[in-house]
Structures are given as C-alpha cells and as structure tokens.
Structure 1
Amino acid sequence: MAKIVVDPITRIEGHLRIQAEVDGGAITDAWSSSTMFRGIEKILKGRDPRDAWYFTQRFCGVCTTVHSIASIRAVENALNIRIPLNAELIRNLIIGIQVVQDHVIHFYHLHALDWVDVVSGLKADPVKTAALAASLSDWPLNSSTYFKGVQEKLKAFVAKGRLGPFANAYWGHPAYKLPPEANLMATAHYLEALDWQREVIKIHAILGSKNPHPQTFLVGGMAIPIDPTSQNALNADKIAEIGELLKKAKDFVEKVYIPDLLAVASFYKEWAGIGAGVGNYLSCGEYPLDNSGKREKLWFPAGIILNRDLTKVYPIDQKKITESVAHSWYEGSDAGVHPYDGQTEPKYTGPKPPYDMIDTTGKYSWVKSPRYDGTSMETGPLATILVAYASGHAGAKGAVDMVLKKLGVGPEALFSTLGRTAARGIETLLVAQELPKWLDMLVANVKGGDLAIHNGEKWDPSSWPREAAGSGWHNAPRGALSHWIRIKDQKIENYQAVVPSTWNASPRDEKGQRGPYEAALVGTPLADPSKPLEILRTIHSFDPCLACAVHVMDAEGDEMVQIKVV
C-alpha cells in the first residue's frame, strides 16, 4: 500500500494538505489537513460589535464580501435590527456579482487546468477550434484568427521555457481526454476570463467604494446614499453602468462559461460516478427579496438533504450545529460544542517541519470538525442546487434538467465530482440571470419614493440589552457560512466563524467520521500515483479556500511550515 502527499493542493488561498493511501490503483483512505492557524476570533474579543465586519472581511482576499455580510447579519440578528429594502437589494447586488465572478474564476483559473491540457493546444488547428467554438455559442471572438493569435502566445510561453500561469500542472498526463482544439478553446477563454472578471467586479467599486473588501457595509443597512440628483450618491448614471456590467456578466456566463463547462464535461462522464463524498448536504439559502428578515423567504431556499434523498428537504435547526476538535490542534473537549460556546485556543502537537507524514491517529489539522446533528455535511454549490432542486425552485429545476439532458446522465450523476462542478455553473447561471431583476427592483423602489438605506434606530449602544447573541448566515460562493456572536456590556464577549471550507475540509471527528474532502477521495482511481491529478480534480471541485478556515502570524518572522510534495 503506497502513501502519497499533495501539499499544498490549493492554487491560490491557504495551505491544504492531502495525505492518502493507495492500493490497487485507487485511494483507500485519505486525510485532509490544514497547516495554518486562524486566530482572528481572538482579536475580536472586547471590541465594538459594529466594527467586527472590518476585521472578519480580512479572513480572506478572495471572498471579499462574504465575511462582511455574515458578520453584520450576526450583529443585526443579535440586536433584532431590520434593514430597509434598498439596503437588502444593494447587498444582493454586491454578494450576487461576487458569486458570479468567483465561480467563473474558479472554473477557469483554479479548476479547468485539472481537465484541460494547455500544452496540447499547440497541436490544435485554429480553423477547427473556431468551428468547435461556433458550434457551442455565438460568442463574437469565435474566429480562427483569434484562436491562432492565442496559440502563438502560448507557443511563445513554451519556447521560453516559462509557462507563466500554466507552469504547475501534469501536462501530458494520461487522464487528460480533451482533443487539442478543445484545449486551445478553453485556454483562450481562460485568458478572456481574466479581463472579464476585472470589469464586472467594478460593481463593487460603484456600490462599495472598492474591491477587494467593499467599505459601504454597515450594521443596520448600507452607507451608500441614494439620490437620483447627486453625483456623490447612487444615481441614474451609476445604475445604468451597473446594468451594463450585469449584462456583460450574463453574456459571458451564457455564451462562454456554460458552453465550455458542458463541452469539457462531455469528455469526462465517468466522473459522474467518482467523488460522491458524505452524501449529506447543507445550504443556508440566500438573497432576501423583502426586508422581513425571515430566512424562509429567501430566493435560494435553505435546507438539508440526508443520504442523497432528493424527496425530502429538512429545515436547519441551528441548535444541532457543533464543532469537534478531536483531531484538530486546539484545546477543548473532543465532543462537539455549539459555536456560541466555541473557543479558539491553539495547541499544536504535530511534527516540526520539514516532515513527510503527519500522524493521523491523533490531531492533524488546524481546521475544526463542524457537524450537524453529529453528521458530516457537505456545503457549497452542489448543496445549494440540490436543496433548491428538491425544494421545487423553478430556475434550479429547469437548469439542472437541461444540464443532465445535454450530458445524457440521470440525477444520480449530481452526487459526484462532475456534479459538484456542474452545480457551480448552474448556480452562476441562475444568479447572473437574476441580478438584473434585483437591480430593476431597486430602481422601482426608488422611483416609488423610498430612498432609505439605513436603520439607525439601535445604533446607540445604550439602547442594547446587557447581553445578546446572534448568528449571521450567508450562502457564500463556497457554501454555508455562519458567524456567531455573543455581546455583553456592549462589547464582543465571544466570536466564532464556521466557514464553508471548515465544513468541507474537516478532519475526523470524535466518532471517527471523515470530513467531506476525505470521504470524497475514497475510491478515486489514480492513473499515475506519482502524479495524482485525480486528487486535484475532486478536491478542487469543492473550491477549497483555506485562508477562510485558518490563519497564521508569527511576530518573530520564524518559518512556520515548509511545503513539499513526496
């Protein structure tokens, strides 16, 4: 039995290590280990709750809005603050375009290279590539001249021996299946997506003053004024600009991303039977379309699916959420505790770097083990779409059925690495198509005379109860995100964040149950264990972002970890 380690496995955010056992050409067991510590919760203690979002949004440089909105919602929940409809719709626009941009970036820049052999594109015929692209959509750049130009750029990279963003991959791996023309097309769209994402995210600059980390969030609403007659407020010109950017976002998703996703997936249908994982799914829902504050009225419904049974969606009972540290480098009881009572007290007992293997019989990760009613749960786009589909969400049902029909597979294919990747595209498509409608709702509300963007009724801390507790939920690009706050004497007494990658990257719990990453890898075939491309495919299908799950800072500047692949 061979043992392999991939470290780090993430392409951009955080340090994730996968340690696996391989026998008979397939993975028989796996362990997910994050090698960095997150301590921002400790920094928040004693601070003003209204300031928490400034700190929590720095959990990550990719999820630039998600911790802001979750933190603010936690404080609003604790203090029973209801925000104006305009503020709710502006928040929807900010977090919605974040989802669209983030998912497209993930597909092309963090996941596509697991399926696309970029160097193979040098063998492509640009004329045939143009014909392939034209058969998929009427995107205006589908010309042989264009693809020839991309091919020349790629050739120049290779000739210099420096592949730039394409440097780290297993080019020529036997698990790659796309023909050269499909590889060239996908590589061209990889480069286009870099320019596209920079443009569409300007919506954050318009509504939030900057990106990353928009600055106009505020407990009780938003800090961007609405005034159709002022150049220093959200006015008709800025709304028109947002509308154009939303159209650009929707066009690329419909004419490039989704066609590419379907084209690539058609060559890898066997992955509809690989990477299923724990089979339990949690989505906290998203996008309120009124200011009632009731989560059962969200556009994407919240809920839980157990044992891959799409006939029943269970409501989320927040009291059933716990975090175990049985295999995590923290002090505390091995048995899970509720986030309100959770602590973040590090206690590292692992090996000193450099090291080849971690002893996984004890503690082996900086990520805790969230559980729902004692059960491992997967969260993310697959959970979002499965819950929506099973709940009868019209858009989700139509999009899922369309994708399944085009790929020629049944609903059981959703529970897989391929299904996880397809669900991300479906969520992107649905949100991209809905965003213009939310902008129209905002315009209609303003035309009706409502210019309110903030509820300052409870802004004065003297009006707060002596003690309060609240949770803030957000269905972030990577799944269910929750922030949990306890307030005492107007200050933060305790703060915990249970993030999507904590759910998915969790190590074993006190019962020995695997986390979703670990479970999804078991049974995965490997064509070449020395080049474990298949591990990348399944883990990247979750879109791991370990910066949200763990953070590290050494004030002395000492080396904390050394990364190697063995």
Structure 2
Amino acid sequence: MTINRITVDPVTRIEGHLRVDCDIKDGKVVNAWSSGQMWRGIETILTGRDPRDAWLYTQRICGVCTTVHAIVSVRAVENALDMEIPLNAQLIRNIIMAAHGIHDHLVHFYHLSALDWVDVVSALSADPKKAEQLAQSLSNWPHNNAVHFAQVQAKVKKFVESGQLGIFAHGYWGHPAMKLPPEANLMAVAHYLEALEYQRKANQITAILGAKTPHIQNLAVGGVANPINPDEQSALNMERLAYVKTLMDEIQGFIREVYLPDVTAIAAIYADWLPYGQGVTNYLSAPDFPKDGKGTDFAMPGGYIPNGDIAQFRPITHFGDPFFEQNVKESIKHAWYDGDWTRSPYQEDTIPKYTDFDENGAYSWVKAPTFADKPAQVGPLANVLAMVAAGDERTRKYLKVAMDRIGAITRSRVPLSVLHSTLGRHAARCVRTQVLYDMLEDNYHALLANIASGDMTTFNPPTFPKGEQMGFGFHEAPRGILSHWVVIENGTIKNYQAVVPSTWNAGPRNQNDEKGPYEASLMHNPILDEQRPLEVLRTIHSFDPCLACAIHLHDNQGRDIVRVNTNL
C-alpha cells in the first residue's frame, strides 16, 4: 500500500498549539513529526531584570502551569546564591505543589483525555441500573447509584436533543476504536462532571496558601510571603489551615474511590492498547518534596533510567546535583532558531529564525532537550518508575493496587513492562496522584507540628554578591521534570532559560536526528480511520501536552500580535 500523510493541526484538548504529522502505511504509523507552532519569548524579557522578580514573569509562561514555574524560578535563584530557606516556607511550598499536582492530574484524565476512550453519545443507550452495578463492583463511591446516573443521562440527552453538545461537541463518537459498553460510558460521563468539582477543591488549597490561583502571589526568593500567626486574622492562621484540611478530606475519596478505579477499568477494557505508545524509554524525573531547607532530603525520589531498565536507575540527590546539571543540553538543529548548536542551558540563546515547515530541516519552535546526549521521556511514568527503582514503599503499594485491579478484570498477570505505553502513562499518573495525596497530608501535619514548636519563620532575605553566579532549579511538575537556569551578573539577570516537560516530550529530532518522545511513541500505532485519527490523539494526550510552556508566540506575516513594554 502507499504511504499517506495525515496532519492533525491543531491538536485540541491541550494547552497551547501543537501540530502532528504522521505517515500511515497498512493502517499503522510509520513516521511522525511533532511541531510546536508558537514562539516563547520569556527568556528575552527577563534579561537585565532583578532575579527576585523572575518568578512573577515565568509563571506567566502558561495559564495552567503557573505555580510550577514560580516555584522552580525561586529555586533557581536560591541555588545560584547557595541559599537555605526556612522549614515553614519549604512545607508551604510543598503543600501548594501537592494540591496543584492533584488538581492538574484530575483535569488531565477527565477533562482533557478521557473522551479519547469514552463515547459520550453511547451513554444515552445505557441502563442506569446496570451502570450502578458496574460502578459499585469497582468502588464504594456513594454517587455510584442509578438515580444519579439517570440524572446525568437526562442532562446529556438534553444536550443532544437541542443539537448543541456543548462541552461534548466535536468528539469522535461512534469511532470503531471506541469499545466501552454503554454503561461504562455513562459511569465515566458522570465522573467527568463530578471531577469538575473535585479539581476545584484541590485548586482552592493552592489559592488559600498561594494568595490566588492561577499565578500565585506568595513566593519570594528566600522563602514565602505568608506571615504565620495562629491568632491573627490577616496572617496564615489556624482557621485557614483548618479549612485546608477540610478540602483535603473532601478530595481524598474522589482520588481513591473514583479516579483509581476509572483508570484501571479503562486500561483493562482497552487491554489491546497496552502494547502501543512506548516510544522513548530513557526516563528522567526530579526528586521533590524536600524535607529540609537546603533541598538535600526528599520525600519523593527522582533520577535517570536508561533504556527502561530500573536496575540501572541513578538518583538525583540534591538541588545542586552536578549529575543533572552537566547532562542537560538542548539542540536547535530542527527548530526555528538561528544557528545549529547543542548547548547547556547556561550557554543558550533564544533568537528566532522561522523558515516554514521542513520535515528534513527545521519544523518546530520547540527545542530538543537531551540527557547524556540521548532523548528522554519525562512525566508521571518517569516519576513512578524512578520511585519504584528507589524502593519507595507508597508508590509500590499504589502501583500494585492498580496492576492488581487491571489483572482482576483481564484475568491475567499484568507485568511492569505494560507501563511503557499510552495507557501506562495514564496508570502512572493515577498512581502518582495517590502518592501526591500522601505528600499533601504529610506536609500539612509537618507544618502544624513546626508551628506548634514555636517556629513562625517563613523568609530569609537574599544577598547578591558582585560578579557572576549561576544556578538551576528543578521540580517534578505534573507533566514531568521542569528546570530553570539562570546566570546572574552584579545582581541582574544575564541569561535565563526554561527547560520544560513538554519541551522534553514534544521536541523535534535532536542533533543526532533521533525522534523526540511524542514522535517515537506514535510509531506503529494503529489508525482505523485516517479521516478521524483518534489513535493519534490518544497517545499524544497521554503525555498531557502543554505547548504554551514549551514555546510562546509567533505570526507568519511578521505582524505584532502583542507588544510588551519592558520598561514598566
């Protein structure tokens, strides 16, 4: 058969603008290109500014990944200055990160990717009583009942009869790759709607401690700006902390009794998809949830796994670890920037040079990161595999629960190797969410205990010496390892670079012409209908793309889209 080219542009239900081109032969993908369609200019804006202000700018790279850029930015400057922050500040940051991660993972599964597997229109033919039996066989969630499912079914029917599907419009309903029974589809749609409320509750925790969300306001180089006084109404007091605990208790049930059963049920029913979507199996993740002010002791391990072999896991041990610092590089060989170099972020520049889409030359605004000169996949799968390799007991416990649930439905033994797949990324993200909830609780109780001991300190003022300082900060963000790199000269920013998760995953071919993770993961994927390439979306969505982070803004005609006055 001939090779046919399909182009998905834009890929929807993601953050930012992504184009994916695939060559199809005999119903399978035989080649692929991932192309970011905007240019990011934050690095240029930051040059010459006060390093203490960088976090306010960098969290505006994206309207979704706001908190993570803010935290990594202050960590980068603190690393350059060799700073230690107060324990209270570290714990408050940790609580914010855990809540943000839970919020993000719930949004990703239910509202960005579930509709690749769930046929909303099929739910109209479901029997609510049978949906209740199915749901109650999976968990004890109190809303898994026929009355609630019938109400949801009526709501969806009203959308359909009006001719306006609203949030469910333009899906590939009836696609031959959809295989959930109507009752499972109805259950999933009901949980989709409930997830809107529970992700909001998780985000409220971020807002309480971060002053607002998106774009938190409480950070500072040296700690946080939250004054602690248990008896003061205008400070972080016991009333606010008690409400945080109320929200934590409310989201726990949904995470344990809905998210985990839903992911494992879909993975089991779509077991024929477990061989697809592997791609790059060099995995990179960051340790996180530091338990001390210097970032030398972490509750969640991270590191590098080459070739998918967890026996070769090498940990990243502290915020300044040279193993990480010396192995991260980015290539612009196939990106729309001036030059053809592979450099450490400290030495990079960001000079745009658009030359149109050339599959053999430059075809993306995304750079191509490498670790130890090889492409690396980042994200919850990398994080979970690293924690398993490091012997983290909680991760192993939740992973066993997930794998046992899949095995019980498929009536087969499920090996760890199935995680190297499209569905494996969903399973790993769900497992990570269970661990994140434990981090939320641990850090909340640690903060209360530290306050009870009499420690109210939240900030250590930074000092900027003359000369040059270099530093980097990292964080295991919801989409994977995020790092910012800063060069400071005489108290101002000389160079700044952000190497983000979707740059690692969405990057084009690197300096050695090796495919990036998106591109490699699409190889050999089945395509049942070239006019409706649902399978492409399934695999790309499993990474939770955020192209706004990887790139920023561009217009083919060279017109000004937005003009920023950097002198304000």
Q: Same fold (TM over 0.5)?
A: yes
Partner of 2:529, secondary structure, is: coil
Q: Deviations over 1:384-432 (max 9, x none)?
A: 0000001111111112222222212111101111111100000001111
- Contact 1:200-1:248 at 8 Å conserved across structures: no
Please give the alpha-carbon distance, in whole angstroms, between the structure 1 residues aligned to 2:439 and 2:471. Answer: 29
Residues 193-208 of structure 1 correspond to what in structure 2 (within 5 A)? 193-208=195-210
Q: How does 1:206-285 map to 2 (within 5 A)?
A: 206-285=208-287
Give the Å deviation of 1:10: 3.5
State the superposition RMSD in angstroms.
1.4
1:543 counterpart letter in structure 2: D
**Distance in structure 1 (CA, Å) of the matches to 2:360 and 2:558:** 31
1:321 corresponds, among 325, 328, 349, to 328
* Superposed counterparts of 1:411-426, under 5 Å: 411-426=416-431
Amino acid across the alignment from 2:405: K
Task: Quote the Cα distance in structure 1 between the aligned partners of 2:223 and 2:262.
Answer: 38
Using a 3 Å threshold, how does the CA distance of structure 1 residues 72 and 516 change in structure 2: closer, same or farther?
same
Post-superposition CA distance 1:334-382 (Å, at most 9, x none): 24100000111000001xxxxxxx3201100000000011100000000
**Residues 505-545 of structure 1, C-alpha deviations (whole Å, 9 max, x = no match):** 01011211000000000010111111111111111000001
How far did residue 304 of structure 1 move?
Answer: 0.4
Amino acid at match of 1:5: T
Alignment of 1:110-509 (within 5 A): 110-294=112-296, 297-316=297-316, 317=323, 318-332=325-339, 334-350=340-356, 358-408=357-407, 409-456=414-461, 458-459=462-463, 461=464, 464-509=465-510
Letter in 1 for 2:7: V
Unaligned runs of 5+ in 2: 317-322, 408-413, 562-568
Distance in 2 between residues matched to 1:269 and 1:299, nearest whole Å: 33
Deviations 1:426-449 (A, max 9, x none): 000111133112101000011001
**Aligned equivalents of 1:553 and 1:217: distance in 2?**
30
Cα contact 2:102–2:199 (8 A) shared by 1: no
- 1:354 is matched with which residue? none
Rounded to whole Å, the distance in 2 between the matches of 1:88 and 1:272 is: 39
- Code of the residue aligned with 1:537 in structure 2: it is R
Distance 2:222 2:553 in 1: 32
Contact 2:29 2:522 in 1 (8 A): yes
Distance 2:180 2:559 in 1: 45
Letter in 1 for 2:304: I
TM-superposed deviation, 1:54: 0.4
Q: Out of 87, 99, 107, which is 1:105 matched to?
A: 107
Task: Read off the aligned partner of 1:312 and give its amino acid letter.
Answer: Q
Q: Distance in 2 between matches of 1:262 and 1:508?
A: 33
Distance 2:226 2:132 in 1: 45
2:287–2:475: 8 Å Cα contact kept in structure 1? yes
What code does the residue aligned with 1:444 have?
Answer: A
> What does residue range 552-563 of structure 1 map to in structure 2 within 5 Å?
552=553, 558=559
Matches of 2:200 and 2:509 in 1, distance apart?
A: 39
- Asked if the contact 1:250/1:433 (under 8 Å) is kept, the reply is no
| Cα distance, 1:108 vs structure 2 | 0.2
The one-letter code matched in structure 1 to 2:70 is S
2:371 aligned partner, one-letter code: Y
Structure 1: distance between partners of 2:556 and 2:418? 48
Of 538-547 and 187-196, deviating more is 187-196
Give the Cα–Cα distance (whole angstroms) in 2 for the partners of residues 547 and 106 of structure 1.
16
Q: CA separation in 1, counterparts of 2:555 and 2:310? A: 47
Change (3 A) 1:224 1:157: same
Cα distance in 1, alignment partners of residues 144 and 217 from structure 2: 39
Identify the residue that residue 84 of structure 2 maps to in structure 1: 82
Q: Which residue of 2 aligns with 1:543?
A: 544
Distance in 2 between the 1:12 and 1:387 partners? 26
Whole-Å Cα distance in 1 between the matches of residues 119 and 436 of structure 2?
A: 30
1:37 aligns with 2:39: yes
Report the alpha carbon displacement of residue 559 of structure 1 after superposing the two structures with TM. 9.2
Shift of 1:287: 0.5
Give the aligned residue type for 2:537: L
- Give the counterpart letter for 1:425 in structure 2: C
* 1:555, distance to aligned residue in structure 2 (A): 13
Partner of 1:564: none
TM-superposition CA deviations, 1:87-112 (whole Å, max 9, x none): 00000000110000100000000010
Q: Which moved more, 1:188-197 or 1:468-477?
A: 188-197
CA distance in 2, matches of 1:527, 1:432: 38
Deviation of residue 284 (structure 1)?
1.1
Q: Aligned ranges for residues 7-46 of structure 1 at < 5 Å?
A: 7-46=9-48
TM-score (norm 1): 0.94
Q: Deviations over 1:27-68 (max 9, x none)?
A: 000000011100110000000000000000001111120100
**Contact kept in structure 1, 2:367 and 2:503, CA below 8 Å:** yes
Structure 2 residue identity aligned to 1:395: R
| Structure 1 runs of 4+ with >3 Å offset | 553-560
Contact between 1:273 and 1:413, CA under 8 Å: does it hold in 2?
Answer: yes
1:500 Cα deviation (Å)?
0.2
Query: Is contact 2:287-2:298 (8 Å) kept?
Result: yes
Query: Which secondary structure state, in structure 1, belongs to the residue aligned with residue 31 of structure 2?
Result: strand
Contact 1:36-1:550 at 8 Å conserved across structures = yes
Partner of 1:523: 524
User: Is the contact between residue 520 and residue 538 of structure 1 (CA under 8 Å) also seen in structure 2?
Assistant: yes
Retained in 1: the 8 A contact 2:37–2:554?
no
Mapped to 2, the partners of 1:42 and 1:434 lie a distance apart of 36
CA distance in structure 2 between the partners assigned to 1:193 and 1:400 by the alignment: 22
Aligned twin of 2:52:
50
State the one-letter code of the partner of 2:436. V
Contact 2:34 2:506 in 1 (8 A): yes
2:314 aligned counterpart, secondary structure: coil
Cα displacement (A) at 1:557: 9.4
1:492 counterpart letter in structure 2: I
Task: Name the counterpart of 1:355.
Answer: none
